[in-house]
A and B are shown apart, each in its own frame.
Chain A
Amino acid sequence: MKLPELKRQNRRLLFVMLLGLILALVLMSLPLYHFTASVYTKKSGNTVVGDEKYQTVRAEVEALAEDYRAQGFDVEINESVLERVNSKGETTSLVTFSIDQVISRNLFAFLQSALPGGHVFRLMLACAALSVLCAALGCIGEEDVMPRFLSRRAAFLRTAAEVLALLALLAVPVFVMMNNFAFGRQLSLFSQGLMTEGKEALYQKMNLFLFDGAAGEAIEDALAGIKPQHSGMIWLLLPVFAMMILCAVQIRHGAVKSTLLKALLYAFVIVMCLVTLYPYYVMLITAFRSNAETLDMYFLHLFPTKWIWSNLSDIVRRGVPRYLLNSVFVAGGATLLAMLCGIPAAYAMARMNFKGKKAFLGFVIMSQMFSPVVLLIGISQLMTTLHLNDSVVGLMLINAAFNQAFAVWLLRGTFISISPEMEQAALIDGCGTVSALIRVLIPMAAPGIVTALIFVFINAWNEYTISTVLISTAANRPITVGITQFSSFNMIEWQYLFAASLLATIPVVLLFMSIEKHLTAGLTSGGVKG
C-alpha cells in the first residue's frame, strides 16, 4: 500500500520534529537562569530616605558600583528600608544598600559544572535528539507505508521515537525541580549551618558554575545571600517537546486522538494509584525511622537513612501483641456470632414463606443505618447494666449486632441465587432441614459466605469508637485503640504509632483484596459499607 500523500505528510512531520529540536536548542542556549549575589553591603542608620546622610551614602555606594562596572561586572544597587521609632519618639530608618551582582547562565553551562541536574539535562538533550533520529530512520524506505503495515524494524524505531520524546518532556520538570532543590533548599540549609554533609563538593561546583572558579575561599560569603531565579522561559520547553510527541505519535500510529486518550487514561490511573498509595508509603517509611528522624525538619531523603528494625521489637515490648490478640478475638468472635445468627435468618428469608417477612427485612436494614456512635450513650449504659463494660466479650457482641444486617443481606442474596432443588432432593433422601442446610447449601454458597465472613471480620477489626468508650483497662484494648497510646498529648512517637498501624493494616488489606470481586457484586444488591 503506497500513498504519495502519506509520504508528503511524513516528511512534513519529520521536518516539524527537527524544527522542534532546533527550537529547544535555541531555548537552552538563552540565559534562562539569573542569580543575584550581593558583593557589597552598606548600612546607614538613623536616616530618613532622601535626607543628607542618605544622599552621601548613596553617592558612596554608587561610586563603588561604577568601579565594579568598570571591571566588567554586571551589578545593580538595591536598597531596603527598615523603619523604627527611636528613644526620642522620632521615626527614622535603617537603610541597607547592597551592590548585587547579576549572573546569568544558560542551560549548557550546566554541562560543564557537574551540578546536580546536569545529567538530567544531558538525558533530556540526548532523548530529544535520538527521538528525531529514530523517527527519521523509521521513515527511511517506508515513508509511504500505512502505519499498520510497517515492517517490524520501522515500527520499533517509530515507537522508540515516541518514547524518547516523552522522556525528554518528563525530564523538563525533573530538571527544574533538581535545580530548585540544589539552589534553594540545599544551599539555605548549608548557609544556615543546619547541614554540612556534601557542603564542600557542592560549593566547589557552584564556584565553577557561577564564578568560573574565581571566588576561591570567598565562595561561602558569595553564596550566602544568593537568590536564584529562573525565568519562566524554561517551561517553553514543554510545549516544544509536546509538539514533538504529537508528531512522533502521528508518524507511528496515524491516529493521534485515540493514542492520546489512551495515554491520558494511563496518566490518570498512575496518578490515582500514587495518591492512594502515598499515605501507605508514609506509614511504611516512618515505621522504620528513628525517633529523631521522624521529627527532623531537614530530612533530606525520601527513604530512611537506616532502617530501624528494632522499632518492631520495641512495640512488641509495649503491648502491641496483646492488642492484636484482643482484636483477633473481638473480630473473630463477632464474625462467628454474626454468621451463626445470620445464616439461619438468611436461610429463612430466602427459602421460607411467612408473615412479616418484609417487616423483618425492613428491621434488618434499619439496624444497619445506625452506627454505634449515635447510640454511644445508650450502649455504654446497657453495657454497664449487663456488666460487660470494659470487656472484650461486650465488644464482640456489639460488633456482631451491628454487622448483622450486612451478613443477613449478603447471605440471603447468595442463597436466593442457588436453586433449591438440591436441598429438596436431600430432604427427600431423609435429611432434616438443618443437615440439608449444612451438607448441601453451605458448601454451594461458600464464596458468598466467605465474603460476608471476611467483611464482618474487617469491620470489627477496624472498629474504633465503641472500643474507646467501653474499654478502660489497657490489657483489654483492641489494636485500633492500642495504637493511640503512642500519641499522647505532648509527645507522639510516630515511628511506633506507624509500626503498629502497619501490623494492623497489612492483614485486613490482604483479606479485603481477596474478596473485592465478590463484594462488588454483593454491594449493589445489599449495599453496605464498612
Chain B
Amino acid sequence: MNALQGKRKWVPYVWLLPSALLIAVFVIFPILIVFKLSFSEISKAGVIGDFIGFQNYIDAVHLPAFKTVMINTFWWVISVVGISTLLGFIVALVLNQKFHGRKIARSILVFPWATSLVIQASVWNYIIKYEYGSLNNVLLNLGIINQAINWRSSYTVEFIWECGVGIFVTVPFVAFCVLSGLQSIDGSLYEAATVDGAGFWNKLWNITLPLVRPSLTVSTVLNIIYVFNSFPIVYTMTKGAPANKTDTMITYLYMLSFYDRKKGPATALSVIGFLILCVCAGVYMLSVMRKEEEQ
C-alpha cells in the first residue's frame, strides 16, 4: 500500500482535491446560501435585505397552503415508497426464478428507470386525459368499457394518479436492488431448508427476508430521499393545481419562489426540507457505515 502513497503525507489530499472542490462549491455552498437567505429579508424583486431572525419561518408556517402541502408530502412519500417497495420485492422474487425470456423481462423493467421523469409524466398525462386520452381509447376499443371514464374527476384522484406514476417509476429501482441481494444468497440454504420440510412462506420469512434486508434498507432509505425530492411528476401533471391541493413540499417551494415571488418563506421551507433530509441521510449513513465495517 505505502509503495503507492510514498512518504509525503499531503499526497492523498491532492488526489481528493478536485472532487472535494466540486462538491464544496456546488453542493455545500448553496446549502449555506439557503441558510443565510432564510434569516434575511428578501424583497419581491429578490433584493436581499437585513437579518430578520425567524420571521421567514413564521411566515412559511402561516402560509394558507402549508398544512395541505405537508400532509400531501407525507402521503406522497409514504404511499410511493411503501407500495413500490412491496411491489419491487415481489417483482424481484419473480425475476429471480428461472424462466424463458428472463433477460428480456429484465431489460424491459429498465425502461421506466432510464426514462426522464418529465417525459414519463407527460405520457401519463396524455394517457389519463378524459376527452381523448389513450386509456379511455384503448379500453373503449377493446370493448372493456362502453362509456369514457373521467380519470381525473377530482384533485384527490389526480393526486392518486401522481402517486401511481411515482410508484411506476420507483418499482424497477427497488426490484433491481433486491434482485442483487437475492442473487448473492447461497442456493444450498434453500435446499437444506427444503430437506427440513420448510414451505414457501417459511423460507421466505426465515431465509430470504433476513438476507436481503441490507439491500432493502438501502433502497428504502434512498427512496425516501429521492421521492421526497421528486419534482417533475407533480409539476408536469397538475402543477399543484387546484390551489396547491396536489402540491408536495418541493413543487410548492418552487412555485413560491419562482411564481409567487415569496422567496423568504420559500427559503425557510427549503431549510425545513433540508433538515428532514438530514435525518434521513443520517439514518442512511449509519446503515451504510455499519455495512462497511462488516466487510
Contact = CB atoms under 8 A, between A and B. Distances in A.
A516 B107 contact: yes
Interface in A361-380: 361-367, 369-371, 373-379
A529 B141 contact: no
Interface in B117-169: 117-120, 122-124, 126-127, 131-132, 134, 137-138, 140-144, 146, 148
Interface string A317-330: 00000000000000
Contact of A376 (B105, B257, B277, B288): B257
A377 B270 contact: yes
Given A185-B143, A301-B141, A341-B18, A377 B263 contact: yes
B210 to A, nearest CB: 15
Contact of A345 (B1, B18, B99, B229): B18
A520 interface: yes
Interface range on chain A: under 10, 10 to 19, 20 to 34, or 35 or more? Answer: 35 or more
B214 A513 contact: no
A348 B8 CA distance: 13
Contacts of A301: 141
A367 B27 CA distance: 7
Interface in B185-240: 214-215, 218-219, 222-223, 225-226, 229, 231-232
Contacts of A280: 111, 123
Per DSSP, are chain B's interface residues mostly helix, strand or loop, or mixed? helix
A344 B19 contact: yes
Contact of A294 (B2, B91, B132, B232): B132
B285 interface: yes
Contact of B91 (A272, A360, A362, A509): A272
A185 B219 CA distance: 45
Given A464-B118, A505-B119, A181 B33 contact: no
B39 interface: no
B281 interface: yes
Contacts of B29: 378, 382
B43 interface: no
Contacts of B18: 340-341, 344-345
B222 A352 contact: no
A427 B274 CA distance: 46
Q: Which of B6, B18, B127, B143 has the most chain A CB atoms inside 10 A of its CB?
A: B143
A179 interface: yes
Interface residues of B, number: 106
Contact of B285 (A347, A365, A404, A504): A365
Contacts of B75: none
A389 interface: no
A42 B31 CA distance: 76
B37 A516 contact: no
The 5 closest A-B pairs by CB, nearest first: A378-B30, A181-B143, A371-B229, A401-B26, A177-B143
A523 interface: yes
Contact of A524 (B22, B108, B112, B218): B218
B257 A363 contact: no
Contacts of A358: 289
B110 A377 contact: no
Given A280-B111, A366-B281, A382-B26, A297 B5 contact: no
Contact of A424 (B3, B95, B108): B3
A370 B281 CA distance: 9
Contacts of B222: 527-529
Interface in A307-351: 337, 340-342, 344-345, 347-349, 351
Given A294-B132, A501-B123, A352 B11 contact: yes
Interface string A212-238: 000000000000000000000000000
A469 B95 CA distance: 40
B150 to A, nearest CB: 13
A302 B173 contact: no
B4 A423 contact: yes
A47 interface: no
Given A340-B18, A342-B19, A516-B106, A354 B285 contact: no
6 contacts: A184-B143, A269-B94, A381-B30, A405-B23, A512-B114, A516-B107
A295 B177 CA distance: 40
Nearest to A364: B23
A282 interface: yes
Given A184-B146, A404-B19, A370 B277 contact: yes
A198 interface: no
Contact of A505 (B34, B116, B138): B116
Contacts of B281: 365-366, 369-370
Nearest to B285: A365
Q: Which of B16, B25, B132 has the most chain A CB atoms inside 10 A of its CB?
A: B16
Given A381-B30, A483-B119, A498-B122, 5 more contacts: A277-B111, A344-B19, A370-B229, A374-B277, A398-B26
Contacts of A377: 33-34, 37, 257, 263, 266-267, 270
A366 B30 contact: no
